Structure 1
Amino acid sequence: MSTSPPSTIAPAPLERPIYRRIVVRLVAFVTLMYLLNQFDRGNLAFARETLSADIGLSNAAFGLGAGIFFIGYFLFEVPSNLLLHRFGARRWLARIMITWGLVTFAMMFTQDTTSFYILRFALGAAEAGFFPGAVYFISQWLPSRERGKVMALLSAAGPAAYLLAGPLSGVLLGLDGRASLHGWQWLFLIEGLMTVTIGILCLFVLVDSPRDARWLDEREKAALQRSLREDIGDSSSHETRIWHIVRQPRVLLLAGVYTCMQITNAGLIFWLPAITSRIGGLSTLEVTSLSVAPYAFQIIGLFVLGQQSDKHGRRHLYVLLGCLCIAAGLAASALVGPAAGLIALCLSFFGYGTMSAFWSLASSYLDTTSGGAAGLAFVNSIAALGGFVGPTIFGFLKDLTGSDRASLLVLTLFGVLASALVLFVRDPRDRGTTTHGTPTKEATS
């Protein structure tokens, strides 16, 4: 698949206010959707202790249940994004959100290990396709030169969700006993209803394409569509068959890098409160609040790495830097005490800020046709298997060794592997290379 090199032409005066309106009217709402997405995906980490005690889950069983979510996600990811292209982002993203909100609500009825596994699988299946669908939706509205900052904003909703979810979860868990419900039941009940409500609003807020936007006049629509056409080049020459996409080495490398990153990320997300509790002498509210501190560093990393990759255009180098930070932070956390270990993990979470550069790198290679949506979904769905591996390994080793050290060291190895794989990735829009890695006329002159 070929894409044109990045445009070095600055946006026309007419385009800049259009981009601002797109961010305010569409990207901000998609970011809110992603915020709730991360709430509902990660609330299990905060409910772990009381939920496990009430239904009798071991560390290994909890880790397996946390990971089963990603199996459902993997199986339904690519089909979901193909259907998104067929039905349109507005309807399909709303469907995804309403469905996963209902499953989150149903989590309050978890009674035993079996029902826990079933509902976690269902949650992954329901959520499948959301994030790559959101990336695809944004690519329908903004040219690649504008996506780095926007992807940083969208990706920042992830760590921001955990910063908010820690204290909120502590409050909701404190409702234990009200209306004869456990605290973890209140957690799933309230967050599930919030998600369903926003999912319904999605139908009234999102617009599938610039030509359907009533808040743009004809001159603005023409300018925006011209900018998007210049960005993707001649789409008639793009191959959209999924097999053509997934067999390309660069796509497979992107999937490998993101899978390793997801193994480390998911392993930490679901066990970070447990890691924090090693400090000792902390109340439930203090543990849930303190355990989200590293996410503040992820937000910093998202904007720093995203903006710098926009500025310099060498996105793969910023992905490499992020992966190295992930590995270094995990290794240090395994080798020092509990309090220092939590501080060391702040470096790892800063490294996760490279997600904004990574998705800009991926979307710049995969065009905005249905094949592009499927390609993004392929990368994300393969990485979902990493989401299964991370928490499962962590829980198994925690039961086996009685500590977190072995788990953190194994996650470190995956951070190192991600760094090694990035060395073979090249941004197709880097200055001086074409999509296929050959020198441009400018580079050889």
Structure 2
Amino acid sequence: MSVEERTKYFSRAEKVIRQNTEIYAEIITKEMGKPIRQSRDEIEECACLCDYYAENAAKFLKDEFVDIGAEKSYVTFEPLGVIFGIMPWNLPFWHVFRFAVPTMCAGNVCVIKHSSNVPASALEIEKIFLEAGFPENVFNTLLIDSKTAMEIIEEELVDGISLTGNIDAGSEIGELAGSLVKPLVLELGGSDPFIVLEDADLERAVKVAAESSFLNTGQSHIAAKRFIVLEAIAVDFIEAFELEIQELKIGDPMDEETDIGPLAKKEFLDSLERVLKDVKKKGAEPHVYGEEQSKGFFFRPTLIPAASNDMKVCNVEVFGPIASVITVKDEDEAVKVANSTELGLGAEIWSRDLERAQRLAKRIKSGFVAINGMVKPDLRLPFGGVKKSGIGRELSHYGLKEFVNIKTVVVNK
């Protein structure tokens, strides 16, 4: 099947998604607690992704001719075969589509092992592709445990692996894939720094800070976790940030006004409590906002206004609504703190001096730097991390070519 024929299926998938947006959004919210408005946004992104690759895949996969003096010489892009995706619960539709759409556009077959706490999302996604008329077995969902997933990776029929998850899972799967010499894409954890220089637009910065930190109740690899603020503006930033956090509404995720829903699992509550215990042990006092909820896995928005780099909250991926402010004396210290973790997914820099901000961006070890804005994947740009945040890229034409054989062909007379 040609790429032009394949892309027609993704145009149909886009229509199926848009016709059923409310159904899919409710599934997300009821399964893992994301506020309903944000669930709709996630579904919209999936539809846009299908449209983007339907419009652009043929162009991205077109043979590239190179004149080397032969009769003909070119680079062609061929599918690898069966690609196994292991996907997380926090963006249960988006992560699957982000992996599967470009991978199938390239001509591969996808097999998915989704997180065990979002089975309805997993099965509904499979139905989307069936309703769009995809050939049988081009996309398959398996409701299996992690042990079985590792056994599947070892199968000779599996030609590549993609994982979005945590560092421990990535290390284990990376070791296995490496021993089998199978191509691999890993999108792992993040502890994104949000650097605020003294000349930042404070009003804009704090609004984006609240959104970037607390979107999806902080359960996102690209959430801003560490707010690294120059001391000249630190007091003003903290005061303004606190006011923004106080405006967040915590409660029923099906309520259109809710900003902070419940955590996806009880174990995450326990993990966040341990993080706060460490904060207090090291002499800082968390500021907690919002009404306490009588039931459910709720964790109220929390700010650590006097965090330090020796705290666990600043050194691990915190998957929940906790933001930490670290005050630094200058931009050199800001860079040192920003680069001090083993993670390098995204980063944000705030300054009115765009040249200064771009110079600083070159010093940050991450796969994505947003200047005066929020780290947010764009279909047209590659997305991925460095250090222990991952290997490879997703989205754009780069993501489309992660699971292809880039073959050189030289024709001589």
**If the length of structure 2 is used for normalisation, what is the TM-score?**
0.31
More helix per residue: 1
